[in-house]
């Protein structure tokens, strides 16, 4: 990934050295996780479901042992919401006129 953000060629590297460059500078995969989690939260997804989507381990040992629900339907709904929001934000016709609404 870093070879595609270098902006200059490297021996035995890709020729596409600017294909992942963004105006804000260098980014890492963790930035995508953080942004996805933030957007899910802004869309009204419960924090417990966001943690499941990110595959986080429960910090509380007792909770981790006794509460093993997968919450698959809620995770699927969360990913669907995120996908729809990203589609809306990247749609060419949006033209910067996207209004963020929270779900009740």
* Averaged pLDDT score across all residues of the chain: 84
Q: What is the CA radius of gyration of the chain?
A: 18
∠ CA 43-60-74 to the nearest 5 degrees?
30
pTM recorded for the entire structure:
0.73
Please provide residue 31's backbone torsions phi and psi, each rounded to the nearest 5 degrees: -60, -35
Confidence tier at 89 by pLDDT (50, 70, 90): confident
Question: Which region, left, alpha or beta, applies to residue 44 given φ > 0 means left and ψ of -120 to 50 means alpha?
Answer: left
The answer to whether residues 48 and 71 touch, using CB atoms and an 8 Å cutoff, is: yes
Domain boundaries, the chain: 28-90
Residue-wise pLDDT tens digits, 22-43: 888 888 889 999 999 999 999 9
């Amino acid at each position: 990934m870093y070879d595609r953000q270098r902006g200059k060629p490297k021996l035995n590297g890709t020729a596409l050295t600017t294909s992942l460059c963004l105006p804000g500078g260098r980014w890492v995969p963790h930035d995508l996780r953080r942004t996805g989690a933030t957007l899910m939260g802004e869309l009204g997804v419960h924090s417990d479901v966001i943690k499941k989507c990110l595959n986080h381990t429960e910090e509380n040992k007792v909770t981790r042992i006794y509460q093993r629900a997968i919450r698959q339907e809620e995770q699927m709904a969360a990913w669907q919401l995120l996908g729809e929001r990203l589609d809306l934000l990247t749609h060419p016709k949006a033209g910067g006129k996207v209004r963020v609404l929270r779900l009740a």
